[in-house]
Every structure is written in structure tokens, then in C-alpha cells.
Amino acid sequence: MASLSESERKNRLTLARLNVRGCGVPSWHILMLLFVAARKGAYWRAFHLARRLAGRGHQVTLLAMSPRGRFQVKQYYDAGVLVVETPDLLAGPLRSGWDGWECLRRIHWLRRHPVDLVHLFDARPTALLPALYLQNRRQRPLVMDWEDWFGRGGSVEERPNPLVRATLRPVETFFEERFRTRADRTTVICTTLHDKAVALGVPPETILLLRDGANVDGLHPLDRDTCRAELGLPADVPLVGYVGAIFQRDARLMARAFDHLQEALPAVRLLLIGYVNQPVEKMVRDSSALIRTGFISQETINRYLAACDVCWLPYCDSGANRGRWPMKLNDYMSVGCPTVATAVGDVAQVMGQFNIGLLARDTPEEIACQALALLGDPEWRSWLGRNARQVAEEHFDWRWRVAELEQLYGQLLAA
């Protein structure tokens, strides 16, 4: 396993100093602003950071869109974090950060609550405008996070409807790029977005590369055979797992890769875990070889992942995939499952550094070939799985990310 990098040594030294100081750490009122709905997608990046900051003694408020509410603001505490769900009048795909009513409700709520620092998670209007209000009217320092490439060249290009794609491309690009230089500090999830921020004029010394952490407290290695028996999964077949949402183009790549894999290994099954938004059953030749769980709890996700022999990330080499970090890789590591991934973006760098699985080009044949290699060698899989869990604990635990972020906050508030 690779030794700690210089930046990781500094982060751990910072965390050790903070732990020694204990109650001497200043307590800040931190506001995290998101346009996404509570408990969905990018919410989890902010929440994992927020709950650990709350554990450090800070008062953290997470402002997210209500999943269903249209009129009432809802407040509750979750793991020490004040979660505020704000109403949105729009419906369907438009319920994603564009509602002026939600902007006004948020600003009205914020006028009555203390804030020392604002951390904005991506820049659609319902999050961006309240953040600029606090920066301009109340002189609060602004940290802007960039965790997905939405605009031109990014995920907008993955929209299948050409009219929607053409309409949203300039809008997404404007809000994503226009205000980046307004931030006092910037956090980015991957090196692609770091380079884009620098190209837009953001000073490199104000940017922190802050990849997602691993939920090593909530996800654990479990006995594969026991999990299969509890979940009613076949005990004696090779099982390849994938968890969460996926772009349509990537789903087609996964389906073709699975077809190639099944040609070589007819008994193999593909396990789709949680909310998988694409109809993969219609894309593969043998839909009976797919098992779909649908929405399930975090605990049940843990057991399904632990039941897999291999998990994979079959992503096309696209701007959308280069401009993000797939948190599901951290989940695979946390449960100790080896991964087959295409060499796209920072995934290639991390998997090249750590022995947690195999890389492939973004072709169905090579993805299937690498999966077949792992499925045919149980001892190798077991070693890679143990190593993956160790890497999750020593390099990706959320507490290392919070140490970096708390240091950034401290420098900014001191200045």
C-alpha cells in the first residue's frame, strides 16, 4: 500500500492538534447551502461534512430543498446538524434549484439566524442567491464547492432530449461559471474541476481539493454467504454489483459489458442496488440475469454490497464523468469489495495509487475481461477487498476531510 502523501501527513497533524485543543477549538455558526433535496444526491457530501463538524462543537445548519413541501419550512436535527427544508413550488425536473419562491423563503429565514461562514454547494439560483445576499449584505465569508460539472461539456451533454440539452446548456454554464471568482475560498471534488476553476480566474492558492470521504462507521465488511442467505440471493453464482444512479450512456456501456461477461460466464448475475434510474433490463440480452433491489435502507445496502463478489464503475470517458467523484467507489471500499472501474478522471489516479481493484478502458470487452479476471480468482479478490477497507479507513475516512475543511474555515475566519 502507498505511504501517506505530504498533504495527508499535514492533514493528520492538523487533526491531532485540533483533538489536543479539545474545547479550545472556536465554535462557528456554519451555513451549508444546497439546491438539491434533503437526503438525495449531493446532499450526502454536505451532510457527512456537517455532522462531523457538529461533532467538533460547531453549530452547523444545512439548508436543502424539501423533497415534497411547497409552502412550509421544516426544521429538525439530524446527528447534531440543524437541517432546514425549504419549500419549492415547481414540479418534476424543474424542482432542482430554479424556484424564485424558494430563494425568497430562504433569504427571509436567514435574516433571523446567525451565520459566521457560508459554504455553498454548487451554484444554482436557490442556493447561489442567498449565499450572495449573506456575502454582500452581511459581509460573511463565502466558500464555494464544485462537485459536479453541470454546464457546457459536462452532465448537460448527457441529457437525451436535444431540445432540453440546447436550452439548458447556456443557463447551466452561466450559473456554474459566472460567480466562481466571487468566492473567498473554493473546494473542488476532483482535479478536472480544480483546473476549470483556475481557468476561470480562481487563484490556485484559494482552492482545496476535497474529495468525498468514506462512511467507514456506517458501512462494514460482512460475511458474503451470510448476507446472501439473509437476502435470498443465490449462494453459488458470481455476483457483480452496482449501486445508485447512472447516466444513460454509461448504463448502455454497463449493459454491453455485462453481455460480454455473461458470454464467458453464463452463471453470472448483475445486482442493481438502491435507486438505479435507467432501465438496464431493456439494454441487456438476458434480463433474467439482473436482480434489482429498488429503494432500500443504508443497512440493507451494506448487506447487498457485502454479498457481491465484485462491484464496478463502468463509465464512459466523458466530461460529466471526469468532472466528478463517484461516492459509490468509497462505499465499495468501505464494505471491502474489490472494484473494476474505467480509467476516467480521478478514479484512474486513485485506483492506480491503491490496490483496490482493476482499471479498464471504457470498452465493454475490456470491462468484462477485468471483471472475469477477478471473478476467477477468489484469493485475489479477498486480498483486494481487505486492502480496500484499509484504504478507506486510512485515506478516505470523513474525519480526514473535515480536518482539511476545518483548517480552511479557520484560516478564512482569521483573515
How far is residue 172's CA from residue 219's CA, in Å, rounded to a whole number?
34
At 117 the three-state DSSP class reads strand
Over residues 26-69, the pLDDT tens digits come to 799 999 999 999 998 889 999 999 999 999 999 999 999 999 99
Percent of the chain with pLDDT over 70: 94
Distance CA 146, CA 189 (A): 6
Q: Which residue has the higher pLDDT, 10 or 45?
A: 45
Task: Give me the phi and psi of 39, to 5 degrees please.
Answer: 65, 25
The whole-number pLDDT of residue 160 equals 93
pLDDT digits (tens, 9 = 90+) for 296-345: 998 999 999 999 999 999 999 999 999 999 999 999 999 999 999 999 99
Q: What is the pLDDT of residues 71-91, one digit of tens each?
A: 999 999 999 999 999 999 999
Average pLDDT on 79-104 reads: 95
For residue 264 the three cell numbers come to 464467458
Residue indicated by cell numbers 448504463: 251
Range 172-182 burial, b when 16+ CB lie within 10 A, else e: bbebbbebbeb
- Res 106: pLDDT: 97
pLDDT tens by residue, 251-305: 999 999 999 999 999 999 999 999 999 999 999 999 999 999 999 998 999 999 9
- The pLDDT value recorded for residue 41 is 86
pLDDT reported for residue 20: 38
Distance CA 216, CA 221 (A): 10
Determine the pLDDT at residue 10: 53
Mean pLDDT of 209-214: 97
Q: What is the pLDDT of residues 106-165, one digit of tens each?
A: 999 999 999 999 999 989 999 999 999 999 999 999 999 999 999 999 999 999 999 999
pLDDT tens sequence across 333-348: 999 999 999 999 999 9
Reply yes or no on whether the pLDDT at 12 is more than 70: no
Task: List the chain domain ranges.
Answer: 6-12+23-213+397-414, 224-395
pLDDT of residue 192: 98
pLDDT at 16 over 50: no
Q: What is the predicted pLDDT for the residue at 415?
A: 83
Q: What would the grid cell of residue 346 be?
A: 480521478
Q: What is the pLDDT of residue 21?
A: 40
Q: What is the mean pLDDT of residues 345-361?
A: 97
* pLDDT(404) > 50: yes
pLDDT band at 11 (very low <50, low <70, confident <90, very high): low
Residue whose C-alpha is closest to residue 364's, from 215, 263, 268, 214:
263
Q: 224-395 belongs to which CATH class?
A: alpha beta
For residue 310, give the nearest of 289, 268, 340 by alpha carbon.
340
Sign, CA torsion 296/298/299/301: positive
- Provide the CATH topology of domain 6-12+23-213+397-414: Rossmann fold (3.40.50)
Q: Are 367 and 259 in contact (CB under 8 A)?
A: no
